[in-house]
Amino acid sequence: MLKGDMERVRRLESQSQALQAEIAALRGLHKKTECSMAMQFKGRMQDALLSLSGKLAAEETVWKMKAEVEEMEEDLKQQTQMNGISLTSCTVKTLHKDDRQVVQQYCLAGSCLDLGFQVDFQLSELFPAQVTISKTITKMDIVLDTDDMEISSFMSR
């Protein structure tokens, strides 16, 4: 092979390795994003699984988990009836992530007493050396599906 061909092969191999590393990082980021959404229900489910640890057959474990999910669904239904807020969608997109900070964009849509709304905001989580974690909401936008100027001006304030 010629010297130029060898150099080109090295460059292509280097680019290939960089792309493979980026793919691995993106897969890890995707997995962590999915995990962060599941953390809302982690505590109750984890307690149930720990109490089951090896004592119950797989079929009984599934039955208990199903009962737990049904209980959570009933709690959500009661909360919706009490406060009149019903969420129809929730999307989360990770904008930035490193060892010290994670910035995610949230978009919630739903209705409250037949008034449609959408809330967009960024959640920044800082992981300093201490145990406490700092969470900050920034860039919050609220869009209401109404022509009522009083409500719109109140929400914009």
Please give the distance of CA 147 from its chain centroid, rounded to a whole number. 32
**pLDDT, position 8:** 82
**pLDDT, position 73:** 84
- Structural domain boundaries in the chain: 1-83, 84-157
How many residues make up the chain in this entry?
157
- The C-alpha angle 98, 99, 100, rounded to 5 degrees, equals 95
**pLDDT, position 60:** 74
User: From first to last of its 157 residues, what are the pLDDT tens digits of the chain?
Assistant: 577 778 888 888 888 888 788 777 777 766 666 555 555 555 556 666 666 565 556 677 778 888 888 888 888 888 877 877 888 888 999 998 888 888 999 998 888 877 888 889 999 988 776 666 788 888 888 888 777 777 766 666 6
**pLDDT, position 52:** 58
Instruction: Tell me how far apart the alpha carbons of residues 38 and 67 are, in angstroms, rounded to a whole number.
Output: 18
**pLDDT, position 101:** 85
**pLDDT, position 33:** 61
**pLDDT, position 93:** 93
Just give the CATH number of 84-157. 3.10.450
- The C-alpha angle 102, 107, 108, rounded to 5 degrees, equals 125
3-class DSSP assignment, residue 22: helix
Closest to 28 in 3D by CA, of 129, 105, 98, 103 = 98
